[in-house]
Structure 1
Amino acid sequence: RGMQQKVAIVRAFMTEPRMLLLDEPTTGLDPRAKRDVQNMIRDVKQTMNTTMLLTTHDMDEAEKLCDYVAIIHLGRIVASGRPAELKKQLLGKVDNPSFEDVFLEFTGMSIEEAEYQEVESA
């Protein structure tokens, strides 16, 4: 599956798109393949003038790969901004906040609850 993801991303960039939608690009990958795909995305982001819209439930991935993040809860954007700015909003509430803490703060639920709710509404 990791090789399929890498090939799909490379194929998408062969046309030098102005915008690319990446929907959960590393879901189900083993740790090495996940890291390879993330590195490829990061490299392409730095070398091409392509806007990427990435959807993910992996908060570490969002923090690593995204310049700007919008957290959507129940169909509404509940927080948006640069990852570091969103983490700063938690200072004083959470010691050394992670991006997962940001998700929890702005949605009021755990990641597992949000995924269950998403499955239920589909």
Structure 2
Amino acid sequence: MRRLLAIAAVTSLSLSFTACSGANPLSSGTSGSSGGSSQAHPQVPVGSIDQFQVTEHASFDEGWAMSFLPGTDHLLISERGGSLQLRDQGSGEVVEVGGVPEVHHAGQAGMHDVIPGPDFETDGTVYLSWVRDHELG
């Protein structure tokens, strides 16, 4: 366990230094790395990156995760407060899904991931992750 924590700390620290180095990741210079793969990474000139456009399709209360449901035209969205919303991509209609578990909603706790099962198209299984209230915290 200590080894895992040490590896995580070193990785986190090295990512912090990389993020704070001020280097431009899209610069056309070459990397000074001498180890690892010799395969070059393509450089993207900054001028060639187009701006993306945002189109709002619906508004959710602390939307947390979403998954397209295979074989359907539906998007399942979890809201951290504990609700699930089902959006029909064709009509734009959004309905609340019933029968969801009660969640503990505080800090980052709440309803989290929504993932269709591997056989969703035949059995309709959706996996949820959430935080529940417990006397031990």
Asked if TM exceeds 0.5, the reply is: no
Higher-helix-fraction structure: 1
Specify the TM-score bucket, using the shorter chain as the normaliser. Answer: under 0.3
In terms of fraction of residues, the more strand-rich structure is: 2
Higher relative contact order (CA 8 A, sep 6+): 1
Larger radius of gyration: 2
TM-score by length of structure 1 reads 0.26
